[in-house]
Amino acid sequence: MKRAYFGLIVLMLALNGCKSEVETAMSEMVDKFKEVTQILKGVTDKNSAIAAKAKIEAVGRDMEALAKKYNNKVARTDEMKKAEEKFKPQMEQAVKEMTAEAQRIGNIPGAAEPIQSALMALGTKMQGLAGR
């Protein structure tokens, strides 16, 4: 999860200088992390984990679309710092809650593997987006 958080920050550094646009992008990404957490909260067994995997993959596609939307824009450092400061607590909380849910799911027989693979794919995707 830390890799995904790092990937998000790097991605945000690539966004455009309009403060409201940077904040919008950061807000949308925080919302996507919160969406993953809500999906994870619904996992109670192997079958719900398999269903959650598909939903997490869909959120990953949404994150890719967001990245493409903001891909060719470059934020000025001062604007990024302000946006990072504003959204840092929300992002940290979202990552903390997502991590706690992933750990909870690790104790459910048969549920860990599909969720782990979906979260790893999401993290890999985030790193790839950040590297653009």
Q: Which structural domain range is residue 11 located in?
A: 2-130
Number of structural domains in the chain: 1
Give the whole-angstrom CA distance, residue 31 versus residue 46.
26
pTM: 0.76
Degrees (nearest 5) of the Cα angle 132, 23, 53? 60
| Residue type at 40 in one-letter notation | L
* Cβ 25 vs Cβ 70: under 8 Å: yes
pLDDT at residue 49 greater than cutoff 60: yes
d(CA 74, CA 68): 13
How many Å apart are CA 101 and CA 30, to the nearest integer?
Answer: 16
Mean pLDDT computed over 99-126:
90
pLDDT tens for each residue of 22-44: 778 788 888 999 999 999 999 99
